[in-house]
Amino acid sequence: MSDINQIQIVHLDSATIGPSVKLNKPDIPHDWVSFERTLEDEIVSRLKDADVVITNKVAITKEMLAELPKLKMIAISATGYDKIDVKACHDKGIIVSNIRDYAQQTVPEHTFALILALRRSISAYFDDVRQNEWQKSGQFCFFNHPISDLKHSTLGILGSGSIGSEVIKIAEAFGMKVLKSARKGERNIKDGYTSFEDVLKQSDIITLHCPLNNETKDLIALPEFQMMAKKPLLINVSRGGLVNETDLITALDEELIAGAAFDVLTSEPPSDDHIIMKNLDRSNLIVTPHIAWASEQAMQTLWDQLIGHIEHFHHGKPRNTL
């Protein structure tokens, strides 16, 4: 694009950016329109004059794009892009850029916060304290729940990209053995990797750091839970849909795993009758509301990168394109 033309930028879901973020605007001629939230039936009308749209979880489909001939760029304020029909964008010449390498600290730290909370039964003991179990015990401590160290245990990593690699560094600092999983079904295993099946069989803790796509949907379901010989903890801070949630509850019921901690669900926000929400009374199940990515530092980095993408696109040099 010419760098002298004024463009309209529409942010469809500004409420997905935390209040601590300094919301810098691009240093180009532009009109800025912002909505905290956008429903599906509002998308096309709000984008009819837009050159650039910013979206995190608001989906942009092929059918919508057909009604948006002016749209030239989709700036995703996240790394995951499963909400965008990237092929349809490519066919129409629409640039799609995502955010990369901004969460290497926040997501791994949240991963280990969840691991430690389960491994040391922190949530369970805190619930006991709130229920006066400490006073009732009659001594300085009590032992209602298991507590285990991380050192010498085995961590299985499903997805060893930039975030998974940082998780590995933390695990090694704890003195853990790390198994990097090959892709499910892969038979020619590269050096440094372990087959998917062996990771399931050998791990004390399994953590997921994969994108959600046709290959990874229901990556872990009942057959995979039944392979988990060491009854591991399962951590998912990546995408809802990687784990079959109904089978997860079955795995907890049948003690195929020792516990689970999820930051992501298939439906966000979940309904009251979502199967995970109906099981929150379990002491070995922790759910956080998709905030592993959301440290103040990471969100500011995300926003600054996003604005940079728009500026680079406007000057004819798009980056982080899909």
Count other Cβ atoms within 10 Å, centred on residue 247: 19
Q: Give dist(CA 311, CA 27) in Å, integer.
A: 7
Q: Residues of 38-61 as b/e, b for ≥16 C-beta within 10 angstroms? A: beeeebbebbeebbbbbbbbbebe
Residue of 209, 239, 309, 314 marked active site: 239
Alpha helices in the chain (DSSP H): 43-47, 62-65, 86-91, 106-119, 122-130, 133-137, 162-173, 196-202, 222-225, 245-253, 296-314
Tokens of 162: 């930039």
Backbone φ, ψ for residue 53 (5° rounding) = -120, 135
Out of 11, 30, 110, 290, the active site residue is 290
Residue 205: count of CB within 10 angstroms of its CB: 27
Tell me if residue 290 is catalytic: yes
> Does residue 90 have an active-site annotation?
no
Structure tokens at 91: 């066919």
Residue 181's Cβ-count burial label (10 Å; 0-12, 13-18, 19+) is buried
> Measuring CA to CA, which residue among 259, 262, 270, 272 is closest to residue 236?
262
Q: Which entry of 67, 186, 268, 296 is annotated as an active-site residue?
A: 268
Question: One-letter amino acid identity for 65?
Answer: L
Active site residue 133: no
Name beta bridge partners: 151.
Answer: none
Residues belonging to the active site: 239, 268, 290
